[in-house]
Amino acid sequence: METTPDTSSGRPAYLGKDTPLPQSPEEAKLDYVPNPRQGALFLVRFTAPEFTSLCPVTNQPDFAHLVIDYAPEETIVESKSLKLFLGSFRDHNGFHEDVTVGIGQRLFEEMRPKWLRIGGYWYPRGGIPIDVFWQSGAPPGGLWLPDQGVQPYRGRG
């Protein structure tokens, strides 16, 4: 099964088109386009403050605030395809750790950026918030790395 659309034209495959939400992360195809600033060291950040997936035990929804940072190499991920990919987790069963790390690893393996990290700030399940972090390795020297800006979970206290 092809995992990414044909980007040989350098044009986004989904942008400006009516595209249904994929039924699963495996079905979702991420779209990568040429980096318009190849050779420049910069950081791209995507935030998904209303991410959802399903608990593999109870089948109840889990909610997270995801922050994805990466330093592009030859390609960048097209944001509509990323939105569709993340939306495909709505009916996907997975533990927080598997979902967060899986998203980061898939982006890193397919896009091949210089560096990538993901922070999954999950809302409490069973009274315990779970935060999951993954990165591809040490960030490149000289890369400006701002804090992900998500406060630790605090109850009403």
Q: What is the pLDDT of residues 78-128, one digit of tens each?
A: 999 999 999 999 999 999 999 999 999 999 999 999 999 999 999 998 888
Q: Who contacts 108 (Cβ-Cβ below 8 Å, separation ≥6)? A: 70, 116, 136
Q: Are 100 and 120 in contact (CB under 8 A)?
A: yes
Task: Please report, for the chain, the start and end positions of each structural domain, with discontinuous segments joined by +.
Answer: 32-135
Fold of 32-135: GTP Cyclohydrolase I, domain 2 (3.30.1130)
**Strands across the sheet with 115-122, in order?**
44-54, 61-71, 115-122, 131-135
pLDDT above 50 (res 147): yes
Q: Tell me the CA distances in angstroms from 108 to 4, 5, 35, 115, 120, one per residue in order.
A: 13, 16, 15, 8, 16
Residue type, 109: E
pTM greater than 0.85: yes
pLDDT above 90 (res 9): no
In angstroms, the CA 106 to CA 45 distance is 16
Q: Which residues are catalytic?
A: 55, 62
Give the pLDDT of residue 18: 82
In angstroms, the CA 112 to CA 23 distance is 25
Under DSSP, is residue 79 helix (H, G, I), strand (E, B) or coil?
Answer: helix
Confidence category of residue 2, pLDDT binned at 50, 70, 90 = very low
Q: What is the mean pLDDT of residues 17-37?
A: 93
Give the pLDDT of residue 17: 78
Average pLDDT, the chain: 91
Give the pLDDT of residue 66: 98
